[in-house]
Structure 1
Amino acid sequence: MTKVLEVDPSYDQARRQIVRLKPLADEKRQKMKEEMIVDHWEIGNCNSGQFGMSADNFKAVKDPNTGSYSIPFQC
């Protein structure tokens, strides 16, 4: 729809669809991020156990400005 608006900025139906779909897409993207983190955590626990560590030694911290995560090690 954004490409349609680039070609014809006056096309109101495309604009309405963007307003309707953007929150749904944002919600889906956030859910996928959270699922990915959980999946990586489980894989991390399987692999790090061999070294006497756990994925629980790491804490995901979300940056409110960018939405990205940093994952520092915690003892």
Structure 2
Amino acid sequence: MREKVEQVLDKVRPMLEADGGNVELVNITDSGVVQVRLVGACKGCPMSQMTLKNGIERIVLKEIPEVKAVEAVQE
């Protein structure tokens, strides 16, 4: 499943990189929660929660039904 998640994240990376940010896959829990770390400009952006939920999570859930949620983890 990790490879599938990375492939989906590769689809959203150009949008994030255009604004000076990126996303890293940290972990996938046994319960189907994808944990990511927002980096670069995304790390401290006030809109990062919206980017995570309305962008990254929406696309991951659509493409990989077995994923239950996407959440950001801090360093």
TM-score by length of 2: 0.36
More strand by share: 2
The structure with the greater share of residues assigned to helix is 1
Q: Which has the higher contact order (CA 8 A, sep 6+)?
A: 2
